Amino acid sequence: MLGAIFGDIVGSVYEFDNTHDPAFPLLIRWSRPTDDSIMTLAVAKALMETAGQDDGAIRTALVRSMQALGRQYPDSGYGGMFRQWLRSADPQPYHSFGNGSAMRVSAVGWLYPTLDATQHAARLTAEVTHDHPEGIKGAQAIAAAVFLARTGTDKAAIRSFIARKFGYNLSRTLDAIRPGYAFYETCQQSVPEAILAFLEGTSYEDVIRKAVTLGGDSDTIACMAGAIAEAYYPMPQQYREEALLRLDAPLRCIAEQYHRFYHSRKHLL
């Protein structure tokens, strides 16, 4: 999960000031966690609290956790509809296919023992807000890629599965996409691009650099790509430490709790 958070932090300063320079500085003074990291941690917290419980309990915990953290960190870059959802006394899904469902799902890819269970949990995390089929599909695609990467599936098989299962065009190259790529916040126009950044990357850091230099919604693309890359490549320890250092104490506490929770259950996964 720290792979997603670090990607978000790196991309945060390039979201509205895109760079195509692959030698860009990974971290500067203003690099910070955005709504992507806040909601990633909120989802992880809800899933930890409801391990082994039914779908209704998980949905309730997701709404509670996402609203609580979202209200605690109100200026993190949420979209307009999601901001309204955060403030609602009766929060209901709003048929969104924005990439918010996919950027917060990384913990799902680590916490379930089978691909089917992973897909089911990803659907639950999406549906509380993003109940449009494309919003659900985006979350499931990222979670599936994380699951496959962490369980030793090679890139060719990951590419084939995601393309077949979700219908994304993964035959393109980033070099072909980049010249005409713009700021897209939909799953349809950012999830496959994030997966391509992972597929083309040669290391965790290279994946992050490729994701950011694609342009567009840089923090979210790097968050999604970083989530998959962490499951496939060794993530440098210094980047794990930097991700934790740039979270405040309450958020860092959730991240550390998740780390302990995952490792206590790793033998089951």
Write out pLDDT tens, residues 54-73. 999 999 999 999 999 999 99
| Burial class for 161, CB neighbours closer than 10 Å (0-12, 13-18, 19+) | middle
Question: What's residue 150's pLDDT?
Answer: 98
Handedness of CA 56, 61, 62, 63 (dihedral sign): positive
Q: What sections of 78-114 are H helices per DSSP?
A: 80-87, 100-103, 108-111
Q: pLDDT at position 164, please? A: 98
Q: What is the pLDDT of residue 199?
A: 98
- For helices 133-150 and 155-166, what crossing angle results, to 10°? 160
**39 close to 100: Cβ distance less than 8 angstroms:** yes
pLDDT of 143 reads 98
Residues 6+ apart with CB under 8 A from 50: 57, 58, 61
Q: How many residues does the chain have?
A: 269
Distance separating alpha carbons of residues 85 and 56, to the nearest angstrom: 19
At the top level of CATH, which class does the domain 2-21+32-268 belong to?
Answer: mainly alpha
Mean pLDDT, rounded, for 40-52: 98
Letter for the amino acid at 217?
Answer: D
Alpha-carbon distance 227 to 198, whole Å? 9
- Residue 9 identity: I
pLDDT of the residue at 235: 97
Q: Are 204 and 230 in contact (CB under 8 A)?
A: yes
Q: Are 178 and 213 in contact (CB under 8 A)?
A: yes
Percent of the chain with pLDDT over 70: 100
Secondary structure (DSSP) of 217-266: SHHHHHHHHHHHHHHHSPPPHHHHHHHHHTS-HHHHHHHHHHHHHHHHHG
Cα distances (Å, whole numbers) of residue 37 to 229, 249, 260 = 16, 14, 18
CA-to-CA separations, 57 to 42, 60, 123, in angstroms, rounded: 15, 5, 14
Instruction: Average the pLDDT over 123-150 and give the result.
Output: 98
Query: pLDDT tier at 82 (50, 70, 90 boundaries)?
Result: very high
Cα 83 from Cα 232, distance rounded (Å):
33
Residue 102 has what pLDDT? Answer: 98
* Closest alpha carbon to 48 in 110, 93, 129: 110
Query: For residue 242, what are the CA distances in angstroms to 7, 223, 237?
Result: 11, 15, 9
